[in-house]
Structure 1
Amino acid sequence: MPITSVSKDPEALTMTVTADFAVPVQRLWDAYADPRQIERFWGPPVYPATFLRHDMATGGRSQYEMHGPAGDVSAGYWEFLAVDAPRSFEVVDGFALPDGSPNTEMPHMRMTFDFSETPDGSRLVTTTYFNSADELEQLIGMGMEEGMRQAMGQIDAVLEDLEAFAAGRGTVSQILSDTQVRVSRVIRGTVEQVWRAHHEPELMKRWLLGPEGWTMPTAEIAQAVGDPYRYEWAPVAGGPADGAPPFGFEGELLASEPPYREVTSERMIGMEGPGTTNELTLTAREDGGTLLTLVITYPSLELRDMILGTGMTDGMETSYARLEAELVGV
């Protein structure tokens, strides 16, 4: 059990949890910054978490769900007030409604996470600030302290599992819900380089090609929120895709926080019906690379499974491998 102390101060309306780990500060920080890792310990073992959004930057937001053994779901959110990687971050932590919006009928709290070096590794001090004595008593009564003990007791196993989150593993798809899929890939390149690779037309045309045998003649990029975009692909004459019909996607830029997050709508050109919503998040890693996370929300379970069945993940891996090669050569 990494927790070494838990102290409650009814006058200051705080609870402070101190935990020590036998890993460097950066490794511990990465466990909190990576949605694939934090969801393996943020929640007691019988209430595992799924992070539907996790942009760890000042002004960013997390949205998560904890699923109980009886099928019950408890949703929560973080609003990032400050992030100083890899030393500290501060959030508003609260309960959420099913759509991810704050549940104003439940209390919220402010939490600070402070990371520091120790002779044997690192220390994390988590301080929770309650709004009133009644809320402190209510949340402690709901099992908050025991929940944190159980959750943090799972971190050591995540920290030891380096292979699952290492660079070079390739593109991985994870089903989050009936309508959501998260695609993850560690790319050797800085956040700024990966962001630029998604916003410079000529660079995009060199890497965003999917399987061999395709070109990208059109890359019209949205410049501001509300702008449209349009991407088109065509087969190379004499190549492995020769004879296949050209295709493309279009949509709108819905949100943008350079260089770490953007949200777009997407639909295939000429197709009827609703499309998808794609949320791209870029997170810096200790090895100098970037964790690229793409959460895709589909209008239905059927469309989700149909697109996954096309080999989408393999095609994305081919493109991301090209992107990495472009960046390594920069």
Structure 2
Amino acid sequence: MPVTEVTTDPEALTMTLIADFAAPVERLWQVFTDPRQLERFWGPPGWPATFTAFDLTAGGRARYHMTSPRGEQSHGVWEFLAINEPTGFDVLDGFVDENGEPQEGMPPAMRMTFAFEPTPTGSRLRNVTHFTSADALDAVVAMGAIEGSTMAMNQLDRVLAGLREYAQGRGTQVELLDDTRVRITRLIDGAIDLVWRAHQDPELLRRWMLGPDGWRMSVCEVDPAVGGRYRYEWEPVNPDAGERFGFDGETLLSDPPRRAVTTEHMTGTDYPSTLNDLSLEEEDGATLVTVLIAYPDRETRDAVLATGMADGMESSYARLESVLAGDVATR
């Protein structure tokens, strides 16, 4: 992981994050000063960032918000204090409301420095946040700033490398983010609009979301609108090969063609639902599929992973690539 340490200094009123990357300083500068690249990693998993303004000049401002799986938004603003291309910049970082006004009940704006330093293997980010008081430092740490910033910066490798170089040939990857959350990624050779449609269109879903060979999707009902419900059921081609099963749930957030959040419940059981956060990211004709799954507890997470879920998903994603390479891609 790129982040090597995150420390707080109660006397200096600072929080310092250090991360190392196998990319030159100039490349690190690019991803932090291009809002389209910056928003691909700035928000931690489950809270992606969207930059709506970005004036990279001394005195200029950047506006952004981060959106939770249930649609809540947290807004922020940077006021650029100093620009030192390509070695770094300083901002005044503040919590604001949807109108850009300082948010009541939140810590005051903090001075934040971004320094990019060359290393023998690439470059180092030194990010220092300066607080106005010990209470402000404690409040931000209590909000999860250390964990959130670590997970956010650990997403930067794939942006620096490019999606094909980062994920090509790795198949379906499973990462344990914490006790209840799992992140699953798979690069699909296909445009984002096609991959999005393949996740929403019942006709296409029946062709690829089948898991291991020998199963078919007998029920596929999808209402992708927010508040709409879906229901999937699978059954073995050979009736002696297993029992039919299914899932149902509700769409909580839809942002075509980039993000959809749904609940997932095993039909006919009293098992608690999971929260499934699907996001798509395209680069050079390939789309990275990321599914962030939040389980009710660690035991449920481990039990589901032990079923071979990742292998079933890999079979489905490989089938999806075949579908996209065929007649779907020509429509």
* TM more than 0.5: yes
Is this contact kept in 2: 1:109–1:128, CA < 8 A? no
Q: Which structure 2 residue ranges, 5 or more long, are not aligned?
A: 1-23, 55-60, 96-105, 118-123, 128-152
Is this contact kept in 1: 2:25–2:116, CA < 8 A? no
Q: Which structure 1 residue ranges, 5 or more long, are not aligned?
A: 1-18, 43-49, 54-60, 63-77, 84-88, 113-121
1:282 alignment counterpart? 280
Tell me if 1:52 matches 2:45.
yes
Is this contact kept in 1: 2:90–2:114, CA < 8 A? no
2:21 alignment counterpart? none
SS at match of 1:51: coil
**Identity of counterpart residues, as a percentage?**
39
SS at match of 1:292: strand
2:292 alignment counterpart? 295
Counterparts of 1:126 and 1:270, CA distance in 2: 55
Q: One-letter code of the match for 1:318? A: S
How far does residue 169 in structure 1 lie from its aligned partner after superposition?
Answer: 1.4
Counterparts of 1:52 and 1:208, CA distance in 2: 24
**Residue number among 81, 91, 116 corresponding to 1:128 in the alignment:** 91
* Range 222-231 or range 288-297, more displaced: 222-231
Is this contact kept in 1: 2:186–2:290, CA < 8 A? yes
Is this contact kept in 2: 1:167–1:188, CA < 8 A? no
2:184 alignment counterpart? 183
2:52 alignment counterpart? 81
How far does residue 223 in structure 1 lie from its aligned partner after superposition?
Answer: 3.5
Tell me if 1:328 matches 2:296.
no
SS at match of 2:193: helix
Alpha-carbon distance change, 288 to 160 in structure 1, aligned in 2, over 3 angstroms: closer
Counterparts of 2:272 and 2:218, CA distance in 1: 25
1:110 alignment counterpart? 78
How far does residue 24 in structure 1 lie from its aligned partner after superposition?
Answer: 12
**Residue number among 302, 309, 316 corresponding to 1:312 in the alignment:** 309
Q: One-letter code of the match for 2:312? A: G
Where in structure 2 are the equivalents of 1:1-330 lying within 5 Å? 20-21=25-26, 32=38, 34=40, 38=41, 51-53=44-46, 61-62=47-48, 78-81=49-52, 91-92=63-64, 102=74, 108-110=76-78, 128=91, 139-140=110-111, 144-145=112-113, 151=125, 158=157, 159=160, 165-237=166-238, 242-285=240-283, 287-329=284-326, 330=329
How far does the alpha carbon of each residue in 1:262-320 deviate from its partner, in whole angstroms, 9 at most, with x for none? 110111111113110101001111x2111111100111110001001111111101100
Is this contact kept in 2: 1:227–1:253, CA < 8 A? yes
SS at match of 2:110: helix
Counterparts of 1:259 and 1:101, CA distance in 2: 19
Q: One-letter code of the match for 2:267? A: I
Is this contact kept in 1: 2:259–2:280, CA < 8 A? yes
Task: Output the TM-score relative to the length of structure 2.
Answer: 0.62
